[in-house]
């Protein structure tokens, strides 16, 4: 399907046209710049924004107006407007002498950034109309008149807004006639993160325009992926960041879509999936299994006006999920009271977040807070988070009410001005991981007490034998970015082994709940510092200590640098700079295969420190 054609550049954004079939083109916004402004962009491989334009349709001899599915956000406004105008002009020319009916937009995802661009489209084409789900229409009505508040003391009047276009509401499944033998099936697929989500399925081509589902953030011009492996890591990362906290609802969506006669899945971000879409649906089920099997859960209650509070929630959820603890996301603006009550009662910890709007918390959050105060168990840990612009009264309200109510706080209240940056996202993820570990530790202690203090592994000879496998003691260090935007981490590693001669490479196992794991995806560089026998205690003491979320692991250390700027410990006997080539999921660990780029001996005569264990049940 489709080859790229003309591109319209705009700084680091451009739009290319990918013809799919006659009368159907993908307008793909390309952003190759390395991004890190929301948790799902953590791989920093750029992104694409995919919209799908149907033209040239006829019904009973009369032309059917163009239909644009999944218009992008404001960041692609300039190049997208130019590309869309050219396509609509060409379609109008082909329809002559009959006038072309007005443009219709299928809005499958709604947030302030998307609405800002819709307002520009409405200003350019005043007769356009919108198609949205019931929840999507409500969001459009709420967000259309909203603009970000001006800075205190600013006298500049806000720009005049075009009126909200008429909205056709999709209440169940509906068919939209496109002409040329094509029909568009519109299917609402609400989730807590995207209550107004709407996917579109074109019957004749088998094309599922899935919006956020099955997406990946990477910049690529080809319409479809080359093979399953080429984007598997990116789609898994997207799932872990955004889908895992609502795995049950996502599985329901997969159940609903799997019955469609799909031939190609075309998501809102990243390449289409034409050869391996069945495998991707199976992957979504498999990735959600661990969430379904988890015995512990954290309730994540939030509302988000401009997306910033949702970004904080995503980062916290990512950190919690990394420990194997299930996250139950509840969007308080759309959740029915019975769902909210059930989630509060069955969870093991409660996190609640809110923006501050006009000096207040949104009404749905105030209502959820009342339910929490009335129904929640005071023995369960709680946490408060939120974003703000010029004030933060909503966050203060949540914290004060919960403290006065006798709740125990799991962490210091999180306040983020506007959007979280890369360093803040790392701290948020580590905060979520710390909470997950605390819950798991409490569970293990309870089980030991119930078992009379006996450890099951002491009676399992296979586990005892596994512990006799010896590994060298190393410190893995890594840093990404520069200046204030730099993030880094480290860990003691003993599950290390050489894996190849040509090219030189080794494997290292990293627990899923390690903070450093987020910096060790395919293509990321790091240093493996091999420790010397008799001199391992100093570095180990530094990196085995419990760090608070967001703490600098290298504070107070005098480090050297590898050729690519990765941290090298002078106390090590040898170091290897390597780059992650492959990742394999192994239960509660990731197994990384890394190819060596550089290395050096700091002490050629020292012996390697090794880790002797008594059991394979722990480090």
Residues 6 or more apart whose Cβ sits within 8 Å of residue 572: 474, 475, 529, 530, 531, 532, 539, 602
Across the chain, mean pLDDT equals: 91
pLDDT of residue 410: 96
pLDDT of residue 157: 67
pLDDT in tens, 302-332: 998 778 899 999 999 999 999 999 999 999 9
pLDDT of residue 97: 87
Give me the CATH code for the 294-439 domain, please.
3.40.50.360
pLDDT in tens, 362-402: 999 999 999 999 999 999 999 999 998 878 899 999 999 99
Where residue 253 falls (left for φ over 0; alpha for ψ -120 to 50; beta otherwise) is alpha
pLDDT of residue 453: 58
Which of the four pLDDT bands, split at 50, 70 and 90, describes residue 616? Answer: confident
pLDDT in tens, 69-91: 999 999 899 999 999 999 999 99
Q: Yes or no: is domain 465-611 CATH 2.30.110.10?
A: yes
pLDDT at 8 over 60: no
pLDDT of residue 36: 64
Which of the four pLDDT bands, split at 50, 70 and 90, describes residue 617? Answer: confident
Token duo for residue 142: 């709420």
pLDDT at 148 over 80: no
Specify which residues 600 forms β-bridges with.
Answer: 575
Distances in Å between the alpha carbon of 32 and those of 14, 48, 218, 251, 510? 9, 8, 8, 31, 29
Distances in Å between the alpha carbon of 542 and those of 306, 472, 537? 40, 18, 9
What's phi and psi for 385, nearest 5 deg? -145, 165
Residues 6 or more apart whose Cβ sits within 8 Å of residue 98: 62, 63
Which of the four pLDDT bands, split at 50, 70 and 90, describes residue 58? Answer: confident
Question: What average pLDDT does range 479-502 have in this prediction?
Answer: 92
Question: What average pLDDT does range 402-412 have in this prediction?
Answer: 97
pLDDT of residue 146: 83
Least confident of 33-37, 106-110, 392-396, 467-471: 33-37
- Percent residues over pLDDT 70 in the chain: 94
- Listed by start position, the domains of the chain span 7-147+158-288, 294-439, 465-611
CATH architecture under which domain 7-147+158-288 falls: 4-Layer Sandwich (3.60)
Cα distance between residue 71 and residue 52, in whole Å: 8
pLDDT of residue 9: 42
pLDDT at 245 over 50: yes
Least confident of 161-165, 188-192, 291-295: 291-295
Give the CA-trace dihedral at 135, 139, 142, 147, to 10 degrees: 180
Cα distance between residue 103 and residue 611, in whole Å: 67
| pTM for the predicted model, two decimal places | 0.89
pLDDT of residue 5: 45
Question: What average pLDDT does range 578-603 have in this prediction?
Answer: 96
Question: What average pLDDT does range 490-503 have in this prediction?
Answer: 97
240 vs 448, higher pLDDT: 240
Least confident of 200-204, 421-425, 437-441: 421-425
């Amino acid at each position: 399907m489709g080859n790229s054609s003309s591109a319209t550049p705009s700084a680091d954004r451009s739009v290319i046209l990918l013809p799919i079939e006659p009368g159907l083109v993908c307008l793909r916004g390309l952003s190759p710049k390395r991004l890190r402004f929301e948790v799902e962009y953590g791989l920093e491989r750029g992104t694409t924004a995919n919209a799908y334009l149907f033209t040239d349709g006829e019904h009973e001899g009369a032309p059917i107006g163009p239909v644009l599915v999944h218009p992008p956000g404001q960041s692609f406004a300039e190049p997208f407007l130019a590309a869309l105008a050219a396509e609509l002009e060409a379609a109008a020319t082909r329809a002559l002498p009959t006038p072309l009916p007005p443009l219709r937009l299928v809005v499958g995802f709604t947030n302030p950034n998307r609405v800002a661009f819709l307002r520009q489209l409405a200003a350019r084409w005043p007769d356009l109309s919108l198609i949205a789900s019931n929840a999507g229409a409500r969001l459009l009505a709420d967000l259309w008149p909203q603009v970000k508040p001006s800075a205190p003391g600013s006298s500049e009047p806000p720009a005049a807004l075009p009126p909200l276009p008429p909205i056709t509401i999709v209440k169940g499944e509906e068919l939209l006639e496109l002409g040329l033998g094509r029909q568009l099936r519109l299917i609402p697929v609400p989730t807590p993160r995207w209550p107004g989500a709407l996917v579109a399925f074109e019957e004749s081509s088998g094309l599922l325009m899935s919006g956020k589902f099955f997406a990946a953030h990477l910049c690529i011009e080809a319409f479809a992926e080359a093979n399953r492996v080429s984007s598997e890591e990116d789609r898994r990362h997207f799932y872990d960041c955004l889908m895992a906290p609502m795995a049950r609802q996502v599985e329901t969506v997969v159940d609903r879509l799997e019955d469609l006669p799909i031939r190609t899945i075309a998501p809102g971000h990243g390449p289409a999936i034409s050869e391996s879409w069945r495998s991707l649906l199976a992957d979504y089920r498999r990735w959600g299994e661990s969430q379904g099997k988890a015995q512990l859960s954290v309730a994540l209650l939030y509302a988000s006006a401009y997306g910033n509070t949702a970004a904080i929630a995503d980062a916290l959820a990512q950190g919690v999920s990394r420990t194997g603890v299930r996250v139950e996301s509840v969007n308080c603006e759309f959740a029915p009271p019975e769902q909210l009550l059930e989630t509060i009662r069955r969870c093991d910890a409660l996190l609640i977040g809110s923006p501050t709007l006009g000096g207040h918390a949104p009404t749905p959050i105030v209502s959820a807070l009342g339910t929490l105060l009335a129904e929640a168990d005071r023995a369960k840990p709680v946490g408060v988070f939120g974003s703000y612009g010029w004030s933060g009264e909503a966050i203060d309200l949540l914290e004060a009410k919960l403290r006065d109510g006798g709740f125990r706080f799991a962490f210091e209240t999180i306040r983020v001005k506007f959007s979280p940056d890369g360093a803040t996202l790392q701290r948020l993820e580590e905060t979520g991981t710390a909470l997950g570990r605390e819950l798991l530790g409490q569970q293990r202690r309870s089980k030991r007490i119930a078992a009379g203090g006996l450890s099951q592994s002491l009676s399992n000879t296979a586990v005892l034998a596994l512990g006799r496998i010896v590994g060298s003691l190393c410190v893995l260090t890594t840093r990404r970015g520069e200046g204030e935007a730099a993030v880094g981490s480290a860990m003691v590693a003993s599950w290390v082994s050489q894996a190849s001669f040509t090219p030189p490479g080794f494997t290292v196992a990293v627990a899923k709940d390690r903070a450093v794991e987020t910096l060790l995806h395919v293509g990321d560089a790091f240093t493996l510092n091999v420790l010397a026998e008799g001199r391992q205690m100093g570095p180990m003491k530094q990196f085995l200590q419990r760090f608070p979320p967001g703490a600098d692991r290298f504070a107070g250390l005098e480090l050297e640098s590898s050729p690519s700027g990765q941290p090298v410990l002078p106390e090590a006997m040898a170091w290897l700079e390597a780059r992650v080539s492959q990742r394999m999921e192994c239960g509660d660990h990731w197994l990384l295969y890394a190819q060596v780029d550089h290395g050096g001996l700091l002490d050629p005569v020292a012996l390697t420190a090794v880790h002797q264990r008594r059991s394979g049940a722990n480090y």
